[in-house]
């Protein structure tokens, strides 16, 4: 056993909740017509930030999360401690989802993360916890709480399961030195708004007694990845969708799960029909949502980018293109970003601004333009396998608060590409795991 694992077990030793009985999962009619709607709240909503501050904070989080996702290339195959490092920044998610835990339900806001699997919250007694807006969940106050045994398949689904006195103990490390460790347990969860509220028994989650980092105004995380411990997998209705309003808007976003996740009535735009592209499985990172990005057009011109720039490296699983709700701006592999930047520089008739080396956004133009000068901005289209995502202007250009420049909301990546949530705001985006498809359509997300 490693020193780290031993230390966690020693600290957890006094916790009476480790002695909880282990019971089997209760039956529940998941799948089929099961589903709910939920509200997504941006992590900085109602915090009193100016629009400039909101943008600066979102760009900063985006830079940190992208750096973490790019470090996935450093994973060492066969190293159990390294493999458990789910390199997704707990402190840099973008949207919070409310859920009730226990009987009776006590409500918490958790960071929704399409890049990880585990559902977890901070639990009392808390030996090491970080600030959160609600009291810590206390398992002794809920009769439906049950610790999970070491021999359970759920325990074995952890990247690095640990066992103490026949109880399954988990530990997750995140890329910003944040971490959570505690007991893996089953509990009754409640999801959805009043009109669609559902209560589901025997959801497996992490009850964290040792936690470090920051939770960005939340009280835990809820993983929507492709692994067996994610909420999507556990509820057995493998489809969800979201419609994200601008993070500068006070209108919340919406999440639809199961039977409610449909794009049939959301297209209030004349931009075109629903489009779909297949997910690509990366064996090295099976929980993440990879897509086959084949090219990019700027101003109606398909850029000379080798499709291999967007492909997954078959040898080590690096590269590829991820769609990620927790990253704000889009990061493109360096050759692709260089081509996009060159196209903008040649097509936009404004002087470039000098930016510092530390700036995330480095394709910025002097704004506003001189008086009486008309300005045409080039259209941007992401070409996927079987689908074209034509970005509205607000989805790829912004006024950067520090320089006041008109900036391309994209940046360069040292490894792989990430399609951020800024680029798919005001799209209704459907993740259909059963058919392994991502579908999307322009939609007025503030109205649906």
Q: What angle do CA 34, 40, 45 make, to 5 degrees?
A: 165
Which of 44, 92, 98, 113 is flagged as catalytic?
Answer: 113
Q: Please say whether the beta carbons of 113 and 325 come within 8 A.
A: yes
What whole-number distance in Å separates Cα of residue 51 and Cα of residue 71? 30
Catalytic residue status for 113 = yes
Which candidate in 324, 362, 415, 432 is catalytic?
324
Q: Phi/psi at 63 (nearest 5 deg)?
A: -60, -45
How distant is the alpha carbon of residue 158 from its chain centre?
19
Cα 329 versus chain centre, distance: 13
d(CA 395, CA 392): 5
**DSSP-assigned beta bridge partners for residue 111:** 96, 221
DSSP-derived letter for residue 230 is: S
**C-alpha dist (Å) from residue 44 to 130, 256, 394:** 18, 22, 20
Read off the tokens for 351: 């002087």
CA atoms of 90 and 352, how far apart (whole Å): 35
Whether 213 contacts 179, CB under 8 Å: yes
Among candidate residues 320, 358, 362, the one with its CA nearest the CA of residue 340? 362
What is the distance between the alpha carbons of residues 236 and 354, in angstroms, rounded to a whole number? 51
> Quick one: which of 64, 59, 39 has its CA closest to 49?
59
Q: Would you say 91 and 214 are in contact if contact means Cβ atoms under 8 Å apart?
A: yes
How far apart CA 261 and CA 256 sit, in angstroms, is 5
DSSP secondary structure of 112-177: EETT----EEEBSS-SB----SSPPB-GGG-TT-EEPBTTSHHHHTSSS-EEETTEEEEEEE-TTS
* Cα(62)–Cα(396) distance, integer angstroms: 15
Q: What is the largest CA-CA distance in the chain?
A: 76
The C-alpha atoms of residue 428 and residue 276 are separated, in whole angstroms, by 12
Q: How far is CA 11 from CA 5, 181, 182, 209, 329, in A?
A: 10, 10, 10, 9, 40
Looking at 321-447, list the stretches that DSSP marks H as alpha helix, in order from N- to C-terminal side: 334-347
Q: Please tell me the distance from the alpha carbon of residue 212 to that of residue 181, in angstroms, as a whole number.
A: 9
Catalytic residues: 113, 324
């Amino acid at each position: 056993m490693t020193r780290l694992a031993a230390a966690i077990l020693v600290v957890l030793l006094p916790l009476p909740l480790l002695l909880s009985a282990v019971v089997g999962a209760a039956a529940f009619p998941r799948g089929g017509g099961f589903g709910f709607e939920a509200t997504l709240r941006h992590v900085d909503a109602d915090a009193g930030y100016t629009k400039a501050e909101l943008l600066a904070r979102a760009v900063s989080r985006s830079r940190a999360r992208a750096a973490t996702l790019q470090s996935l290339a450093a994973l060492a195959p066969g190293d159990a401690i390294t493999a458990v490092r789910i390199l997704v920044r707990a402190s840099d998610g973008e949207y919070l989802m409310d859920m009730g835990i226990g009987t009776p339900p006590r409500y918490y806001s958790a960071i929704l993360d399409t890049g990880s699997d585990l559902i977890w919250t901070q639990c009392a007694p808390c030996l090491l916890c970080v600030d959160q807006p609600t009291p810590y969940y206390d398992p002794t106050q809920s009769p439906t709480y049950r610790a999970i045994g070491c021999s359970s398949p759920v325990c074995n689904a952890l990247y690095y399961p640990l066992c103490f006195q026949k109880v399954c103990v988990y530990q997750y490390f995140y890329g910003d030195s944040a971490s959570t460790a505690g007991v893996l347990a089953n509990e009754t969860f409640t999801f959805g708004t009043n009109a669609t509220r559902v209560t589901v028994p025997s959801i497996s989650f992490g009850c964290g007694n040792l936690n470090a980092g920051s939770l960005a105004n939340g009280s835990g995380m809820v993983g929507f990845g492709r692994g067996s411990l994610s909420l999507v997998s556990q509820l057995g209705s493998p489809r969800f969708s979201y419609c994200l309003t601008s993070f500068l808007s006070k209108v919340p976003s919406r999440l639809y799960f199961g039977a409610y996740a449909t794009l049939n009535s959301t297209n209030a735009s004349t931009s075109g029909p629903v489009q779909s592209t297949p997910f690509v499985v990366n064996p090295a990172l099976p929980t993440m949502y990879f897509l086959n990005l084949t090219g990019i057009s700027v101003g109606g011109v398909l850029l000379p980018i080798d499709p291999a720039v967007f492909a997954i490296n078959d040898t080590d699983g690096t590269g590829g293109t991820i769609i990620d709700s927790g990253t704000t701006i889009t990061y493109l592999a360096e050759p692709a970003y260089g081509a996009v930047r060159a196209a903008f520089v040649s097509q936009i008739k404004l002087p470039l601004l000098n930016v510092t080396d530390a700036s995330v956004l480095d394709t910025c133009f002097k704004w506003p333009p001189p008086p009486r000068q008309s300005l045409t901005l080039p259209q941007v289209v992401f070409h996927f396998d079987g689908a074209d995502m034509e970005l509205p202007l607000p989805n790829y250009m912004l006024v950067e608060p520090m320089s006041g420049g008109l900036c391309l909301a994209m940046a360069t990546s040292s490894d792989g590409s990430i399609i951020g949530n800024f680029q798919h705001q005001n799209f209704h985006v459907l993740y259909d795991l059963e058919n392994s498809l991502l579908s999307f359509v322009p939609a007025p997300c503030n109205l649906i």
